[in-house]
Amino acid sequence: MKFYDCKTAPSPRRVRIFLAEKDVEIVTVQVDLGSREQLSDTFQKINPDCVVPVLELDDGSYLSEVLAICHYLEAKFPQPALMGTTDKERARALMWNGKVEQQGLLPMADALRNRSKGLKDRAVTGPVGYPQIPELAERGRRRVEQFFHRLDGQLTDNEFIAGDFFSIADISAMVTVDFAAWLKLALPEDAHNARRWYEVVSSRPSATV
């Protein structure tokens, strides 16, 4: 297998953490998003959507999208389980991962991509450029702030986001919190449950990748 990565981007980091939790090492290729290597003809043959991460399989085919890649890795390297071990746990892990993406990661992307000078006319990932909309940046910030409160509430009676087990949802949420620093956003001071959770998950060895 071969992993197409970008060290500075949040989405491939989610896969790196997933791999680290499973103690799996694979050949990695860095894609320079800063120089827009993802838009090159060479990379578009790998992923026409022009985004990382991408996992190249041994048969030469490609998987993109974080959840699809992690689902494949979970099946290939089942221990430790990061998507739950029962039907209910798997459903909860996927449900909460979806909520993290929809309520945290995507609004954060809106906030960042619609305000960064380096992303002018690149407000949306992919082969087609779109202009920035400042109002979406502000709305994204507000949604991220609201997500942090939602996260704190979910962790009131749960050790981890999907219950009492560490899962892909925790990985996605931790990456969201870390990347929000680019927007100068952090977990609220009174979000005691989320801050307790973040201290635990960010101290795991996999969090350093």
Same fold, 2-76 and 87-204: no
Contact assessment for residue 49 and residue 64, using Cβ atoms and an 8 Å cutoff:
yes
Q: Assign domain 2-76 one CATH number from 3.10.450.350, 3.40.50.960, 3.40.30.10, 3.40.710.10.
A: 3.40.30.10
The torsion angles phi and psi of 148, rounded to 5 degrees, stand at -60, -40
Burial degree of 118 (CB within 10 A; 0-12, 13-18, 19+): exposed
pTM: 0.97
Give pLDDT, residue 191.
98
Give pLDDT, residue 9.
97
Give pLDDT, residue 188.
97
Give pLDDT, residue 96.
98
Q: Does domain 87-204 have CATH number 1.20.1050.10?
A: yes
Residue spans of the domains in the chain: they are 2-76, 87-204
Q: Give the mean pLDDT of the chain.
A: 97
Low-confidence ranges of the chain (pLDDT < 70): none
